Amino acid sequence: MRNGKVALRTEGVWFAYREPDWILKDVSLACSLRNVMMIMGPSGSGKTTLLKVMAGILRPQRGKVEVLGIEIQRGVSRGLRPAIGYIPQQLGLVRSLTALENVLIGALSRISPGRGLLGLFPGHEVEQARAAMDLMGIGHKAREKVFRLSGGERQRVAIARTLLQHPRLVLADEFVSDLDLPRAAEILTLMRQVAEQEDITFVMNMHEVQLVQEFGDQVLMVSNGQVLHECSAQEVNLDRFTEVVQ
Ligand SMILES: Nc1ncnc2c1ncn2[C@@H]1O[C@H](COP(=O)(O)OP(=O)(O)O)[C@@H](O)[C@H]1O
Ligand SMILES: [Mg+2]
């Protein structure tokens, strides 16, 4: 861990979509500020559910979730909401809008209701959106509709949109899993740079061991809704992963 301060903590979290089918069973974890935490585990083990609980999208029946020192298990306050960025596996982009318009959606929490959506963003927000797109290397695609973009470009748009929220914590669900390894590595390199420059903690579900080793700090292995193992990214090895998966 790079420093002692904790960005995200769960204690004894239990979650069921329908009790008593517990999907998360007594999950406790802590992720240090500015770390990249990778969550690994077989399909169906509860990774997406865990991310949603940590984003405040789902409320656990039992246990405690703390983001930046604030308890969120009973809901995320309006003030804290922009600090938590969530990138769903399907990215959640609006395909018929342009890349720039999608990125501006990240600024919505700062726009007063009633201003309407497009064309009404203040100039400084549009500038910020363009800067975030430049940072992600897709400034030249600002006017392109999302449905015309490649998978990697969409990923960059999704990150830029999240950055416009000014998040302190970003939770990303398998968000490079549709890309080939070199492209995934490109995106993760950018993500690490952004994490350092902007002081952001990243937590992501990831199954590529190589990418976990290269881009992660902390690793959490989950299976059947339980944390089986926690280690540093350097300590992850294929054998251990296979053991966990079986
Ligand atoms: N909305 C839902 N309603 C009921 N069960 C769900 C729902 N979403 C996921 N599940 C179940 O929860 C379990 C864990 O799913 P998920 O968190 O998506 O796992 P993972 O991301 O590790 O593949 C699975 O058995 C899945 O069928
Ligand atoms: Mg999932």
Angle at 76 between CA 81 and CA 14, to 5 degrees: 130
Q: Is 88 in the pocket of ligand 1 (CB under 6 A)?
A: no
* Predicted pLDDT of residue 108: 85
- In sequence order, the 6+-apart residues with CB closer than 8 A to the CB of 79 are none
Contact 88, 171 (CB under 8 A): no
Contacts of 120 (CB under 8 A, 6+ apart): 111
- pLDDT value for 115: 59
Over residues 57-77, the mean pLDDT reads 96
Q: How far is the CA of 16 from the centre of ligand 1 (A)?
A: 9
- Where does the pLDDT of residue 3 fall: very low under 50, low under 70, confident under 90, or very high at 90 and above? very low
* pLDDT of amino acid 62: 98
What is the distance between the alpha carbons of residues 20 and 146, in angstroms, rounded to a whole number?
A: 41
Q: How far is the CA of 41 from the centre of ligand 2 (A)?
A: 9
pTM over 0.85: yes
Average pLDDT, the chain: 90
Is the Cβ atom of 172 under 6 angstroms away from ligand 1? no
- Its CATH architecture, for the domain 6-245, is 3-Layer(aba) Sandwich (3.40)
- pLDDT digit string, tens, across residues 77-121: 999 999 999 999 999 999 999 999 999 999 888 876 665 555 578
Residue-range domain boundaries for the chain: 6-245
CA–centroid distance, 31 to ligand 2, in Å, is: 19
**Cα gap 172→208, rounded to integer Å:** 14
